[in-house]
A = this chain, B = another copy of it.
Amino acid sequence: MDDKVRTLLQEHGLKATQQRLTLLDYLMTHETHPTAEMIHADLPDISLATIYNTLEKLVEVDLVVIIEGLADGKRHYDFFAEPHYHIIDTDTSEIIDANNFDPRPLMQAARKASGLNITGYHIELYGVEPKDKK
């Protein structure tokens, strides 16, 4: 059942420990965008240090991305199976995932502008609930 998660970890060169299986499965099955603390609250058997360690590893191998810059000042984490971007409500700090945008032209432009091989991206849009100005 968590063979899928186990395989995912091993494909990315990470040893499949119990904690990593639990944490990655948690991220894959929750639509939320939790902080380390929030994860720890739901998975109290995994120490906070391990949650930080594990998240760091998952970010390294691109299974997870960090969402920074929210009003609460904490890092939020997001399982990143397929590429998407984030829309953040600056009033409520709600984070919405969206993928109705093709990033390839942007990556092309970035390569052209910098000469670098582009390896990834973070796109975050900020918005507010319309006031219905009428």
Contact = CB atoms under 8 A, between A and B. Distances in A.
A106 B110 contact: no
A129 interface: yes
Interface string A48-90: 0000000000000000001011000000000000000101011
Interface stretch (A1-9, A31-39, A96-104): A96-104
Given A118-B125, A126-B119, A127-B116, A105 B101 contact: yes
A100 B113 contact: yes
A115 B100 contact: no
A113 B88 CA distance: 12
A129 to B, nearest CB: 6
A5 B117 CA distance: 37
A127 B130 CA distance: 36
Given A69-B68, A130-B116, A110 B122 contact: no
B113 A69 contact: no
Contacts of A113: 87, 96, 98, 100
Interface of A: 66, 68-69, 85, 87, 89-90, 96, 98, 100-101, 105-107, 109-130
